[in-house]
C-alpha cells in the first residue's frame, strides 16, 4: 500500500472528473469536466499554480486583478506559500466570491469595473510586488496547454469531435484548444460568450452590434484579451444572459451539477449548436461552482 496523502492543497489541484450530461442532452454525446472540484473551487487553481511555479525567486508579495476565481486561487496558494496577496476585483463581483478571497487572508480591493486592472498596476508599482497579469501573460494559456488539455484528452481517450468552451480571458479555450488540435487536427474548437462581447467579432468578422454588459461572471470581454488565441478557435457563439441563467439552474435540477453562470452560458451555447452537431462527440469544461452565486442566480 502506498500513502495517498498530499503535501498541501496545491497538490490536490486537477484530476477533476468528466461527466456525461445525459439528462439535459438526451440522445447526444455531451460531457463536461467539473473544474469546480478543484480545492479553490475553480479552474483558475491550475493557472495560478503554473504561474507561481514560474515566479521570480525573490517574490514575497503577489497582486492580481480578478473577477473572483483567480483571486481566490491566488489567495489559497499564497496562504500555502506564505506570500502576501492583494486582489483587485470589480465592485459587481458576487459577495460570496469577495468573501471567499478574504477568507484565505488576502486583501481585497473593490474597484470601479473600468479601473480594476489599473488599480492592480498601481499596487504593483507602489509595493514592488509580482503581478500575475492573466490577461497578458502567455503563462495563462500555457497552463491549460500543459495541464488541463492533456488531462481532458486522456480522460476522453481521444474520443472527441468538438470542444466548446466559455471565453473570459481566453486562456482556457486557447490552451486546451491548441493541445486538442495538435492531437487531432479535425477537432473543432468553439467559444461561447455573452451577447455583444468582443470575441465573436474577432473570429468571424461579425459586425459590431451594441454595447456589452452581462450578469454572467467570468465570461465575455468588451475588448479581447491577449490571452485569447484566435488561431485555434473556429467559431464563437453568443448567448443571452437569461438563457445562461436558465441553463445554469437546469444543470443543478436535472443533472445535479451545481455550477456557475459561465457553465450555464456554455450549456446554453451547446444547446443552440446541437442541431448542427448531430452525432458528434462534444466536450466542455464547467469552470466554477454555483455555490458562489446562490444569492445571485438561484
Ligand atoms: N468562467 C468563470 C467562472 C471564470 O472565472 C472564468 C475566468 N475569467 C472563465 C469562465 C473563463 O476562463 P478564461 O479566463 O480562461 O477564458
> 169: Cβ below 6 Å to ligand 1?
yes
**Residue 62 to residue 19: CA distance in whole angstroms:** 35
> 262: Cβ below 6 Å to ligand 1?
yes
Average pLDDT, integer, range 187-197: 97
pLDDT class of 97 with cuts at 50, 70, 90 = confident
> 166: Cβ below 6 Å to ligand 1?
yes
Tell me if residue 288 falls in helix, strand or coil: strand
Q: Which atom of ligand 1 is nearest to the CA of 263?
A: 1
Same domain, 224 and 253: yes
CB 68 within 8 A of CB 292: yes
Q: Give residue 113's pLDDT.
A: 85
pLDDT in tens, 136-150: 999 999 999 999 999
Q: Give residue 48's pLDDT.
A: 98
**Residue 168 to residue 35: CA distance in whole angstroms:** 15
> 290: Cβ below 6 Å to ligand 1?
no
Q: Which atom of ligand 1 is nearest to the CA of 144?
A: 15
Radius of gyration of the chain (CA): 18
What is the distance in A from the centroid of ligand 1 to the CA of 2?
A: 36
Nearest CA residue ID for atom 11, ligand 1: 168
| Strand blocks (E) in 21-125 | 29-34, 61-65, 84-90, 107-111
What is the distance in A from the centroid of ligand 1 to the CA of 215?
A: 14
What is the distance in A from the centroid of ligand 1 to the CA of 48?
A: 13
pLDDT class of 295 with cuts at 50, 70, 90 = confident
Look up the ipTM and state it. Answer: 0.98
* Number of domain units in the chain: 2
Nearest CA residue ID for atom 7, ligand 1: 218
Same domain, 171 and 84: no
DSSP 112-178: -TTTHHHHHHHHHHHHTPEE--TTT-THHHHHIIIIIHHHHHHHTTT--SEEEEE-SSSHHHHHHHH
Q: Specify the pairing of strand 235-239 against strand 188-194.
A: parallel
CB 294 within 8 A of CB 258: no
Q: Which atom of ligand 1 is nearest to the CA of 134?
A: 14
Same domain, 24 and 48: no
Same domain, 206 and 230: yes
Among 79, 108, 131, residue at a domain's last position: 131
Tell me if residue 297 falls in helix, strand or coil: helix
> 40: Cβ below 6 Å to ligand 1?
no
Q: Which residue from 31, 73, 248, 69 is spatially nearest to 169, judged by alpha carbons?
A: 69
> 168: Cβ below 6 Å to ligand 1?
yes
> 170: Cβ below 6 Å to ligand 1?
yes
What is the distance in A from the centroid of ligand 1 to the CA of 39?
A: 16
Give percent of the chain above pLDDT 90.
88
**161 burial via Cβ count (<10 Å: 0-12, 13-18, 19+):** middle
Lowest average pLDDT, out of 155-164, 203-212, 236-245, goes to 203-212
Nearest CA residue ID for atom 4, ligand 1: 218
Among 131, 164, 190, residue at a domain's last position: 131
Report whether pLDDT(208) > 80: no
CB 176 within 8 A of CB 285: yes
Same domain, 148 and 124: no
Report whether pLDDT(93) > 90: no
What is the distance in A from the centroid of ligand 1 to the CA of 293?
A: 15
Mean pLDDT of the chain: 96
Query: pTM score > 0.90 for this model?
Result: yes
Residue 4 domain-assigned (yes or no): no
Same domain, 27 and 50: no
Residue 3 domain-assigned (yes or no): no
CB 201 within 8 A of CB 184: no
pLDDT class of 46 with cuts at 50, 70, 90 = very high
> 94: Cβ below 6 Å to ligand 1?
no
What is the distance in A from the centroid of ligand 1 to the CA of 168?
A: 5
Return the CATH number at 85. Answer: 3.40.50.1100
> 219: Cβ below 6 Å to ligand 1?
yes
Q: Give residue 69's pLDDT.
A: 92
Same domain, 115 and 221: no
Residue 1 domain-assigned (yes or no): no
Report whether pLDDT(211) > 90: no
Taking the CB of residue 118, how many other CB atoms lie within 10 A of it? 13
Q: Which residue from 9, 5, 102, 16 is spatially nearest to 289, judged by alpha carbons?
A: 16
Q: Which residues are known catalytic residues?
A: 44
Q: Give residue 94's pLDDT.
A: 78
Same domain, 108 and 163: no
Average pLDDT, integer, range 206-215: 81
Report whether pLDDT(257) > 90: yes
Report whether pLDDT(26) > 90: yes
Report whether pLDDT(206) > 90: no
Report whether pLDDT(67) > 90: no
Report whether pLDDT(250) > 90: yes
Range of the domain at 245: 9-37+140-297
Same domain, 163 and 285: yes
Amino acid at each position: 500500500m502506498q500513502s495517498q496523502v498530499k503535501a498541501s492543497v496545491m497538490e490536490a489541484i486537477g484530476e477533476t472528473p468528466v461527466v456525461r450530461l445525459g439528462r439535459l442532452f438526451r440522445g447526444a454525446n455531451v460531457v463536461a469536466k467539473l473544474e469546480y472540484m478543484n480545492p479553490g473551487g475553480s479552474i483558475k487553481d491550475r493557472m495560478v499554480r503554473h504561474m507561481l511555479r514560474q515566479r521570480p525567486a525573490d517574490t514575497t508579495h503577489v497582486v492580481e486583478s480578478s473577477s473572483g476565481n483567480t483571486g481566490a486561487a491566488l489567495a489559497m496558494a499564497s496562504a500555502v506559500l506564505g506570500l502576501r496577496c492583494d486582489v483587485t476585483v470589480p465592485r459587481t463581483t458576487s459577495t460570496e466570491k469577495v468573501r471567499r478571497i478574504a477568507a484565505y487572508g488576502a486583501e481585497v480591493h473593490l474597484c470601479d469595473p473600468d479601473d480594476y486592472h489599473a488599480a492592480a498596476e498601481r499596487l504593483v508599482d507602489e509595493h514592488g510586488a509580482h503581478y500575475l497579469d492573466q490577461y497578458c501573460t502567455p503563462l495563462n494559456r500555457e497552463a491549460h496547454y500543459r495541464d488541463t488539455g492533456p488531462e481532458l484528452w486522456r480522460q476522453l481517450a481521444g474520443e472527441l469531435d468538438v470542444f466548446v468552451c466559455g471565453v473570459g480571458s481566453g486562456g482556457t479555450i486557447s490552451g486546451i484548444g491548441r493541445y486538442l488540435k495538435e492531437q487531432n487536427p479535425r477537432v473543432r474548437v468553439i467559444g461561447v460568450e455573452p451577447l455583444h462581447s468582443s470575441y465573436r467579432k474577432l473570429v468571424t468578422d461579425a459586425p459590431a452590434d451594441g454595447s456589452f454588459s452581462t450578469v454572467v461572471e467570468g465570461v465575455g470581454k468588451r475588448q479581447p484579451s491577449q490571452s485569447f488565441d484566435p488561431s485555434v478557435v473556429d467559431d464563437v457563439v453568443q448567448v443571452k444572459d437569461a438563457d445562461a441563467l436558465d441553463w445554469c439552474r437546469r444543470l443543478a435540477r436535472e443533472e445535479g451539477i451545481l455550477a456557475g453562470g459561465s457553465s450555464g452560458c456554455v450549456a446554453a451555447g451547446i444547446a443552440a449548436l446541437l442541431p448542427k452537431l448531430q452525432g458528434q462527440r462534444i466536450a466542455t469544461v464547467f469552470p466554477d461552482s454555483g455555490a458562489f452565486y446562490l444569492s445571485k442566480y438561484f
